Amino acid sequence: MYKVDFNNPKHFHFIGIGGVSMSGLAEILVKRGFTVTGSDNSESQYTSNLMKLGVRIAFSQEASNITDDIDCVVYTAAIKDDNPELSEAKRREIPLLTRAQFLGQVMDNYSESIAVAGTHGKTSTTSMISQVLLELPEDPTISIGGIFSAINSNIHAGTSETFITEACEYTNSYHEFYPKYSIILNIEEDHLDFFKDLNDIRHSFNKFANNTLDDGCIIINNDIPDLSEITEGTKAEIVTFGTTNEADCYAKNISFDDFGNGIFTPVCCGEELEEIHLKVPGNHNISNALAAVLFLKKFGVDNKTIKAGLEKFEGAERRFQFKGKVNGINIIDDYAHHPTEIKVTLESAKNYPHERVVCVFQPHTYTRTKALLKELAEALSIADIVILSKIYAAREKDIYNVSSRDLLKEVEKYGTEAYYFDTFSEIEEFILKKCINNDLLITMGAGDIVKVGNELLEK
């Protein structure tokens, strides 16, 4: 496999350079002195930023974009075999790397590499840790799957030996990573269009854990069932966080403020730290913070800096993000699309000032909706009112004989008031008629449901 060497800058071409992850990785290379070119189907804020840095980008994908001076081509999973640029690169026998392979190669250039994995909480936990690392004199490199307000971006190209990134299990892409520190937040059924079942997912996480460097450390949730199966075979140090004092790091004196934000005292490896008052809501964020605390202690960060960084963290984009207020309705946006995520988000919402919790949910992918239909309905029923939109297909075709109307029927079985609309405009019109002063409206899903809240705020 082609090796990315920061000490020997080359010319890299990115097919699909405008994506949130690809653009960030391209920026790291630019700031390391590499020559970077790329292509995409349309302009975006990410391509504009790269062009300001001197990156030449073509907005059509043609064979002529592949030139003799290119040393390696990086491409996303969305690029098909018949893509003209990919075909031309193969014809010219130019080395190829998938986005995941490339990210793994970049990681290998940092002596202090950190990969944050888990079914839920990757973005929030990576952002929490990054917030603390930014308090240190050393300048970390950060790659996050969403916009992080502290850097106003998804990427920060630092100058130190520290690199932190999310590690997604989908298509086993994180098997390309060999980090010094691996963090595993939780393991549940998801991405069942790729994985066979939960057992298959657990085998995948075991492989990820075993990729941790022998002199490294695995920070893992002690509440994961049969934990030893996940860490079996690794030579790295294993430390745990969790809800009970059987874990190496746990929380005591847990409480919540008037907005549902967690307050707790961490106990880490026998040491009781000073109380931490988070600015993000829910028990799940206390769990994320415990993972962060345990990693940061192993990383050698002092208690004062850990507390200061975690208390400064105000959340990542689309993670219980307050968007604004219209007609007395508070609008929150959240990325939750798995039943567990939906449940913890709606439970957190119950602790937030509100008259009623109104959830506008956009199911994400046909396979997930079909496989987890009853679990999705049970989680959504926590809301006072549920409004459903069409399923967001993402990478899939509508061949699975499932729709949002099926989910509607399941939600109604719980006695929850529920509605379905074909279009966002119908949803917005209904909200303006239905919602009352001090209702808490949550737009929820991993697709483009965020547009509903944005458009309401513009009315």
Q: Please give the backbone phi and psi of residue 200, each rounded to the nearest 5 degrees, phi first.
A: -65, -40
Residue 425 amino acid letter? S
Is 390 catalytic? The answer is: no
What pLDDT is stored for residue 348 in this prediction? 84
Rounded Cα–Cα distance for residues 332 and 347 (Å): 14
What pLDDT is stored for residue 413 in this prediction? 97
Q: List per-residue pLDDT tens for the chain, 459 residues long.
A: 899 999 999 999 999 998 878 998 999 999 999 999 999 988 888 899 999 999 999 999 999 999 999 999 999 877 889 999 999 999 999 999 999 999 999 999 999 999 999 998 999 999 999 999 999 998 999 998 777 888 888 889 899 999 999 999 988 999 999 999 999 999 998 888 889 999 999 999 999 999 999 999 999 999 999 999 999 999 999 999 999 999 999 999 999 988 889 999 999 999 999 999 999 988 899 999 999 999 999 999 999 999 999 999 987 778 788 899 999 999 999 989 999 999 989 988 888 888 899 999 999 999 999 999 999 999 999 999 999 999 999 878 898 999 999 999 999 999 999 999 999 999 999 999 999 898 999 999 989 999 999 999 987
Which residues in 269-372 belong to E strands, given as ranges?
A: 271-272, 276-281, 321-326, 329-334, 357-361
Is 275 catalytic? The answer is: no
Rounded to 5°, angle at Cα 315 from 312 and 319: 170
Per annotation, catalytic residue among 27, 47, 85, 122? 122
What's the token pair of residue 58? 């073509």
Is 378 catalytic? The answer is: no
Per annotation, catalytic residue among 166, 169, 189, 428? 166
Write down the pTM of the prediction: 0.83
DSSP secondary structure code for residue 338 in this structure: S
CA distances from 34 to 8, 23, 27, 336, 366 (A): 8, 14, 10, 37, 41
C-alpha closest to that of 280 among 140, 117, 127, 136: 127
Rounded Cα–Cα distance for residues 349 and 357 (Å): 7
Report CA 393 to chain centroid distance, whole Å: 19
Query: Rounded to the nearest 10 degrees, how much is the dihedral formed by the CA atoms of 246, 249, 252, 255?
Result: -130
Per annotation, catalytic residue among 123, 165, 212, 234? 123
Cβ neighbours of residue 217 under 8 Å, at least 6 residues apart?
A: 180, 181, 182, 236, 237, 238, 239, 298
